[in-house]
Copies of this chain bind each other. A is one copy, B any other.
Amino acid sequence: MNRSRAVFYHAGCPVCVEAEQKVAQAVDPLKYDVEIVHLGKAKSRIAEAEASGVKSVPALVLDGVPFHINFGAGIEALK
């Protein structure tokens, strides 16, 4: 099967990471080969993310098209 490429870039925010990965895990594995990249750890991938048009994280790049995702950590999660 010829799957497209999906890359989920994040920066490891401890409050948001679980919810953010919910998006990455919702992507259809039959359609997309999904890779999750922690840009805080994999700084060598930052240039690649920028080249895809990623301006902020978390972002999901589908077939080279960047989608910036705002989750917005709830105040409750910080208490």
Contacts and interface: CB of A to CB of B under 8 A. Distances in A.
A29 B26 CA distance: 9
Copies in the complex: 2
A31 to B, nearest CB: 6
Contact of A28 (B29, B67, B69, B72): B29
A27 interface: yes
A71 B61 CA distance: 10
Interface of A is mostly: mixed
Contacts of A72: 55, 68
Interface in A12-51: 19, 22-23, 25-32
Nearest to A71: B67
Contact of A70 (B6, B31, B68): B68
